[in-house]
């Protein structure tokens, strides 16, 4: 089946089998390996991407369901070689150990911060509750998301800031 999707701002046209999951389309067809395959049951969230600005677990979305849609993966967050504030915050706050969950956590956090730029600790924990990390205990993940939220909120408030903020897909 022929599909046309916009991934990280670039249009792709591909012939895919109707049963191909979005995570495998991204990884195998487009060679975008940031979305990890962890469970195939929506339990872990390692495969999370943004589909039209909404966080979805790409292990349960068919590639054909994404036809005509906009997809943002963790690879699409950086701009001109500069890490996105969430990526920087995860590094600076030591919010990763093995890193397997990190792309999904970051993409989930992107949607959260778009809806709620300055979330409380409780709101962050609720917002990422569909993502599992077996290494960190979440403390530094929460700190990183809140730190990035402050940076992004400051960027939006500064009219002289020319930095590009993550597109919401809307």
Residue pLDDT, tens place only, 84-104: 999 999 999 999 989 899 999
Domain 85-157, CATH number (from 3.10.450.710, 1.10.3080.10, 1.10.150.120, 3.40.50.300): 1.10.150.120
Predicted local confidence at residue 167, as pLDDT: 40
Instruction: Phi first, then psi: give them for residue 40, nearest 5 degrees.
Output: 60, 20
Predicted local confidence at residue 137, as pLDDT: 83
Count of Cβ atoms closer than 10 Å to residue 145 Cβ: 29
- 157 or 81: which leads in pLDDT: 81
Burial track 41-68 (b if 16+ CB lie within 10 A, e otherwise): ebebbbbbbbbebebbbbbebbbbebee
Mean pLDDT of 73-92: 95
- 62 or 166: which leads in pLDDT: 62
Q: Which residues are bridge partners to 71 per DSSP?
A: 7, 51
DSSP state at residue 32: -
CATH 3.10.20.30 residue ranges of the chain are 2-76
* Among 95, 78, 107, 101, CA closest to 9: 78
Mean pLDDT in the chain? 91
Predicted local confidence at residue 169, as pLDDT: 40
CATH superfamily of the 2-76 domain = Beta-grasp domain (3.10.20.30)
Name the pLDDT band for 158 (thresholds 50, 70, 90): low
CB of 57 closer than 8 Å to CB of 45: yes
């Amino acid at each position: 089946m022929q599909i046309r999707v916009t991934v990280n701002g670039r249009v792709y046209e591909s012939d895919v089998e109707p049963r191909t999951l979005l995570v495998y389309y991204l990884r195998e067809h487009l060679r975008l390996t940031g979305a990890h395959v962890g469970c195939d049951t929506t339990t872990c969230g390692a495969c999370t991407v943004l589909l039209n600005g909404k966080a979805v677990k790409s292990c349960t979305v068919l590639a054909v369901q994404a036809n005509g849609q906009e997809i943002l993966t963790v690879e699409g967050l950086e701009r001109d070689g500069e890490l996105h504030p969430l990526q920087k915050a995860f590094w600076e706050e030591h919010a990763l150990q093995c890193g397997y969950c990190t792309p999904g956590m970051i993409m989930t956090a992107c949607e959260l911060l778009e809806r709620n730029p300055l979330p409380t600790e409780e709101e962050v924990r609720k917002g990422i509750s569909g993502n599992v990390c077996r290494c960190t205990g979440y403390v530094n993940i929460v700190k990183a998301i809140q730190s990035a939220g402050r940076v992004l909120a400051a960027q939006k408030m500064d009219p002289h800031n020319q930095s590009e903020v993550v597109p919401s897909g809307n």
